[in-house]
């Protein structure tokens, strides 16, 4: 047994030990609106290197990225290899059947690029796509099958970025994932547990999916070796012919057919929709916080607006006077978060369909006005959206945004960096499986109701539109434009909280990236203040209740991956709540 496989086996055993006391019900998990059930906690160590760092959501994937950089590849080369491997080993979270937001730092030119690889709606979609008999469908009914599938964008986005910044040949980037698909990978405790929980009805309903995850009616188990020859064949075609092999020809036809003839919620996706998919290069949204510059994605990502709003609403407070797990900080953070989410749920959608700029949401004058509602002398209360626009006539939306997601943070030998969050939305996506990979259900990230109170919802379904996303890949730079932090997370609509809290932990509380990720999680999406179960922060429940919070103690299943650059060294961190690792040299 090789060293890598020994490490992988030891890691799997550690995760298994933490599983014995887990119990969930389908209803509980759906009510908490979580993208994936929590599957234990495994301590991770801060990784320190000199030359490069890769942090990804599975040891196989981190190894694939590391291997590419060792061969002379760039950060984008590594990201392609990692995403191909994640399609195999973390199929419930992301894959070539989903979408992504990619931030790329060109360290030579000192320039930041962003690539929008978010899924798009079919050209003939209707805004009431998720209505049945004149009534909006329940989310759990809408997510399964063909209606929820958007045109996948991750592969085209990776190809687009690789054409600009790749160093190795495209076909070299799929070798490890192809070989592993043919040889088989060791099923992780996390994947096995999520199959066992039996939350997604599509896994049982759709033949190909059921045969893959429950061969002969028996769920895959931790330690099983699982081959995926269909995915190997798909990746061989993509390696040889580029992303066109996916967006045209037999694979595209099979995707469109699977969507249109699905036994549950048949959809309207066509081969022309796939052929017409375009990656959008957007201007990064970079703005000051304290002594650093925080950069995120423009809409339909929420990162550039909502994460930044939270930070700026906190900026007038000297947070370093408090502990990161203190009632004072949790109270302030929850107030700021409620205000930011209120704006997000009304004003953020696909930038190409917004008919207004997101800039008014982050102007100093507007945020100073909103910040007056944040303070230790004020009780928490549900926030209303502000009025940064003149005569805005749009309604709040009701999208769940259950991103079953994965995040990759990379810094290569030349100092180029990737912050990439990719997703198929809910765990196991739409439940439909084609040619060895799962198809997303991202169209349920649109508001189920296109109109409310006779006002249009900005994030409603429309032809060729991209649904709003909580995915928030982020980079932070110092005053001299030197990269300091690469970070992001899965976690559904809580992603924004996870990323904002981690940034505060690093910038304000001066924690190293691993400690910042380890810290007890807190979230508030303008609803309840959630405290991470099993951590010291639950002791704040009574204090927070007295300050007006409705408190819930729940599993907060982030999956943060980060790389910190400090004093010429690279520091990598991976979330102990999932199975990711940081590795480098």
Q: How confident is the model at residue 7 (pLDDT cuts 50, 70, 90)?
A: very low
**pLDDT surpassing 70 at residue 318:** yes
Distance CA 192, CA 185 (A): 13
Mean pLDDT along residues 209-222? 96
Tokens of 399: 């999208």
Residue 304 Cα to chain centre, angstroms? 14
In order of 513, 516, 573, 582, the CA distances from 560 in angstroms are 10, 10, 8, 11
Instruction: List, in sequence order, every residue forming a beta bridge with 475; answer none if it has no partner.
Output: 295, 486
Q: Which tens digit of pLDDT belongs to each residue from 480-528?
A: 999 999 999 999 999 999 999 999 999 999 999 999 999 999 999 999 9
Return the pLDDT at 41: 77
Over range 18-27, report the average pLDDT. Answer: 33
Q: Is the pLDDT of residue 152 over 50?
A: yes
pLDDT at 18 over 50: no
pLDDT number for residue 139: 87
Q: What is the DSSP string of 398-455?
A: ------EEEEEEEE-TTS-EEEEEEEEESTTTTS-EETTEEPP-GGGGS-S-SEETTE
The pLDDT of residue 377 is: 96
Q: How large is the greatest C-alpha to C-alpha distance in the chain, in angstroms?
A: 66
- CA of 5: how far to CAs of 25, 114, 417, in Å? 33, 35, 28
- Of 444, 428, 24, 425, the residue nearest 203 (C-alpha): 428
Is 70 exceeded by the pLDDT of residue 473?
Answer: yes
Of the listed ranges 149-153, 201-205, 475-479, the one predicted with least confidence: 201-205
Cα angle: 186, vertex 560, 162; to 5 degrees: 75
Among 82-86, 328-332, 400-404, 537-541, the range scoring the smallest mean pLDDT is 400-404
pLDDT tens digits for 116-135? 999 999 999 999 999 999 99
Distance separating alpha carbons of residues 370 and 356, to the nearest angstrom = 20
Q: Is 405 annotated as catalytic?
A: yes
Q: Is the pTM of this model over 0.85?
A: yes
Looking at residue 338, what is its pLDDT?
A: 98
Structure confidence at residue 259 (pLDDT)? 98
How far apart (Å, rounded) are the C-alpha atoms in residues 92 and 424?
A: 8
Does the pLDDT value for residue 204 go beyond 50?
yes
Tokens of 316: 């007038």
CB hemisphere CA count around 199 (13 angstroms): 30
% helix / strand / coil in the chain, to the nearest 5?
40, 20, 45
pLDDT at 295: 98
Using the predicted structure, report yes or no on whether residue 412 has a pLDDT greater than 60. yes
Q: What is the pLDDT of residues 63-87, one digit of tens each?
A: 999 999 999 999 999 999 999 999 9
Residue 78 in tokens: 């590594």
Assess whether pLDDT exceeds 60 at residue 19.
no
Beta bridge partners of 295: 286, 475
**Res. 3: pLDDT tops 80:** no
Kindly state the average pLDDT of the residues 562-579.
97
The pLDDT value recorded for residue 40 is 73
Give the residue with greater pLDDT, 110 vs 25. Answer: 110
Instruction: Return mean pLDDT, the chain.
Output: 92
Q: Which residues contact 216 (CB under 8 A, 6 or more apart)?
A: none
pLDDT surpasses 50 at 305: yes
Tell which residue, 29, 140, 108, 190, has the closest CA to residue 413: 108
Hey, what are 233's tokens? 């064949």
CA dist 565 and 512 (Å) reads 10
* CATH top-level class of 3-120+135-281+401-439+468-520+558-584: alpha beta
**Catalytic choice (405, 444, 474, 523):** 405
What is the reported pLDDT for 454? 86
Q: What is the mean pLDDT of residues 372-380?
A: 97
Rounded-to-integer distance, Cα 10 and Cα 320, Å = 38
**pLDDT confidence band for 324 (50 / 70 / 90):** very high
Q: What is the mean pLDDT of residues 563-570?
A: 97
Assign 27 a pLDDT band (cuts: 50, 70, 90): very low
């Amino acid at each position: 047994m090789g060293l890598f496989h020994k490490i992988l086996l030891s890691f799997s055993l550690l995760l298994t030990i933490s599983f014995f006391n887990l119990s969930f019900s389908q209803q509980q998990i759906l009510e908490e609106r979580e993208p994936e059930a929590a599957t234990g906690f495994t301590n991770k160590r801060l990784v320190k290197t000199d030359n490069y760092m890769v942090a990804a959501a599975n040891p196989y994937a981190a190894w694939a990225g590391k291997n590419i950089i060792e061969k002379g590849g760039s950060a984008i080369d590594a990201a392609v290899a990692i995403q191909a491997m994640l399609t195999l080993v973390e199929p419930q979270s992301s894959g070539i059947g989903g979408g992504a937001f990619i931030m790329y730092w060109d360290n030579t030119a000192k320039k930041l690029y962003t690539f929008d690889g978010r899924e798009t709606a079919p050209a003939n979609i209707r805004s009431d796509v998720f209505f049945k008999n004149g009534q909006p469908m329940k989310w759990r009914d809408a997510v399964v099958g063909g209606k929820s599938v958007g045109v996948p964008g991750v592969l085209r986005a990776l190809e687009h970025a690789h054409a600009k910044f790749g160093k190795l040949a495209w076909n070299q980037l799929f070798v490890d994932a192809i070989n592993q698909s043919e040889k088989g990978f060791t099923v992780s405790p996390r994947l096995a547990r999520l199959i066992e929980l039996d939350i997604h009805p599509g896994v049982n309903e759709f033949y190909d999916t059921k045969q893959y995850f429950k061969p002969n009616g028996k769920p895959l188990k931790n330690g099983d070796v699982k081959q995926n020859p269909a995915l190997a064949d798909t990746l061989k075609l993509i390696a040889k012919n580029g992303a066109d092999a996916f967006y045209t020809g037999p694979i595209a036809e099979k995707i469109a057919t699977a969507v249109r003839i699905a036994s549950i919620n048949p959809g309207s996706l066509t081969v022309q929709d796939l052929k017409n998919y375009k990656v959008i290069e957007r201007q990064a949204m970079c703005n000051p916080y304290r002594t650093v510059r925080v950069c995120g994605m423009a809409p339909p990502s929420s990162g550039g607006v909502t994460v930044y709003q939270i930070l700026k609403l906190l900026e007038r407070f000297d947070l370093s006077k408090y502990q990161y797990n203190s009632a004072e900080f949790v109270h302030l953070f929850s107030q700021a978060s409620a205000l930011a989410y209120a704006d997000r749920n009304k004003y953020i959608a696909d930038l190409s369909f917004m008919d207004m700029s997101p800039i008014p949401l982050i102007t100093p004058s507007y945020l100073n006005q909103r910040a007056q509602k944040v303070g230790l002398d004020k009780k928490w209360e549900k926030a209303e959206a502000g009025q940064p626009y003149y005569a805005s006539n749009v309604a709040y939306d009701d999208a769940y945004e259950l991103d079953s997601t994965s995040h990759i943070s990379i810094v290569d030998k030349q100092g180029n960096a990737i912050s990439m969050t990719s997703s198929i939305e809910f765990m196991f996506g739409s439940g439909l499986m084609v040619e060895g990979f799962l198809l997303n259900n991202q169209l349920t990230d649109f508001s189920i109701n296109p109109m409310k109170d006779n006002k249009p919802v900005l994030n409603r379904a429309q032809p060729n539109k991209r649904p709003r996303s909580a995915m928030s890949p982020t980079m932070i730079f110092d005053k001299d434009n030197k990269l300091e932090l690469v970070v992001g997370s899965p976690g559904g609509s809580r992603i924004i909280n996870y990323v904002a809290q981690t940034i505060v932990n690093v910038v304000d509380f001066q924690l190293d990236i691993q400690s910042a990720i380890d810290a007890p999680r807190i979230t508030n999406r303008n609803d309840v203040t959630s405290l991470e179960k099993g951590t010291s922060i639950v002791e704040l429940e009574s204090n927070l209740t007295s300050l007006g919070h409705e408190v819930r103690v729940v599993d907060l299943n982030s999956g943060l991956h980060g790389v910190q650059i400090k004093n010429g060294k690279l520091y990598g961190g991976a979330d102990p709540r999932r199975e990711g690792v940081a590795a480098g040299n």
